[in-house]
Amino acid sequence: MTTTVTSLEALSMFPEGQGEEILTPDAVQFLRELDLRFEERRVKLLSDRRSRQEQFDRGVLPAFLPETEAVRRRDWIAAPIPPELLDRRVEITGPPDRKMIINALNSGANVFMADFEDSNSPTWTNCIEGQRNLRDANLRSISWCSAEGRVYQLGPNPAVLFVRPRGWHMVEKHSCLSGTPISASLFDFGLYFFHNYQILLQRRSAPYFYLPKLESHLEARLWNDVFLFAEEYAGVPRGTIRATVLIETIPAAFEMDEILYELRYHSVGLNCGRWDYIFSFIKKFRSRPDFVLPDRGAITMEQPFLRSYVELLIHTCHRRGVHAMGGMAAQIPIRNDAQANEEAMARVRQDKLREVRAGHDGTWVAHPGLVPVAREIFDEHMKAKNQIRMPAEKQSPITEKDLLQIPEGCITEAGVRRNIDVALQYIESWLRGNGCVPIYNLMEDAATAEISRAQLWQWIHHGARMDDGRTVTIEICENLLGEVLWQVERSIGAKAWAASKFHRAAEILKRLSGGGFQDFLTTAAYADLP
């Protein structure tokens, strides 16, 4: 079997030596070993996802698994949490961009999650440069100089670094084995682990990961086996690698105990990936007119199905001795409007207060400016390093019905327009290589763009009615898209418009909004990326 990790043309995109220093022969061999051992299982698990979707399309709803009831009922706890991870009260996330890494590590957050997934546009350059940036960060040699000559360097007490690889559904088209692209999950994990485990262990740290978009405990088992193999390959003890799983799909919400059990030697918690969770709710029940959701703005964490999901996650994590991490505050500081900024910060405070009172052990922010805001709330209400404790049995256990309550609210023309606007702007930026985009004072990533485009599809497909009595149709959406494009062209000017990718973004959005449902925006548009 021949290994072709990349073409010479792809490597030539980097300054001399920079691609080769990441794709070394030994690193390539490790990727090859991962692919040989785990690719067949990955493909089978993706087939299982499709089969499960067919069941949902026939009206079958998810349920707690009878065959794993013993795991849910039994008393067991995960491996002890490493000392440097006991306090994770504020975590910041962002792409593995060099400046972002430095600012995030210096932000005062406990953890920085470098993201190859939702906030990264997976161009070849971004993926390889991201690996180089993370290696340099772990070496404590990372620096960056702006065009104005300002030098950015690490401070004396940087945050602990986690890495989120891409999900099981994605491939890395530039790295092939016998002509077949390698799993993007294995590619991102493999390169980071290979280049950093020794550096981290010498500093008495370890490789830490966030695992995205899992849909079953069998997918968690695959990750656990990947970790075990990597530890054996490197000659390090079992449990060296630690991971937090994002519960951001509906099927995973019904298998939280099982997911933690599969990863019990490697787990340090679960996270409420709330935006992807809403997207999954739309995607999994897309064939059902009785599951049509209202405007995105109406789907708050106070909705019963989201409250139940949060309560179940916290209870499950604390029963198993691991962290229950809260969700993302997408707001960013508004520097030119003091009143609007204070209103945005008040929303962040309210959200973080809800999380800490619910029992979360930490929370996410998208901007360094929000770290002090979130920390103030958690410092005031969480005096210990976390809130992990063995909880008493719940008076009213969360039921399957609780997790599937349909949110109340209406659909408005403003909501339709906002979804078109946000999805269009995000896709255009993603096509240009930027996956983390400030839009209307919110930091949008692939998860929020997925909600926007999936809602458009759902409303059109089921002929949903707006609050003014009109039906959402393709014609209405295309007319609104034309208006949004015209407004964007006017606002950015002719030169920027000519250099933009808005026409292509509009074509992709039309394709995603009509016809058959596309599982992921990022896979549907991946062919457009260099």
CB 424 within 8 A of CB 417: no
Give the integer Cα–Cα distance in Å for 493 and 360.
45
Q: What is the amino acid identity at position 309?
A: Y
Q: Tally Cβ neighbours within 10 Å of residue 515.
A: 11
Give the integer Cα–Cα distance in Å for 355 and 406.
22
Give the integer Cα–Cα distance in Å for 320 and 490.
55
CB 117 within 8 A of CB 164: yes
Which residues form the catalytic set? 164, 445
β-strands 171-177, 180-183 pairing: antiparallel
Give the tokens for residue 42: 């990955």
| DSSP string across 182-210 | EEHHHHHHHHHHHHHHHHHHHTT---EEE
Give the integer Cα–Cα distance in Å for 164 and 195.
15
Residue 451: partners with Cβ closer than 8 Å, 6 or more residues away: 275, 278, 279, 282, 296, 419
CA dihedral of 34, 35, 37, 43, whole degrees rounded to 10 = 130
* Proportion of the chain in helix, strand, coil states, percent, rounded to 5: 50, 15, 35
Give the integer Cα–Cα distance in Å for 65 and 519.
24
DSSP structural state of residue 170: -
Q: Which residue reads 């058959």 in tokens?
A: 516
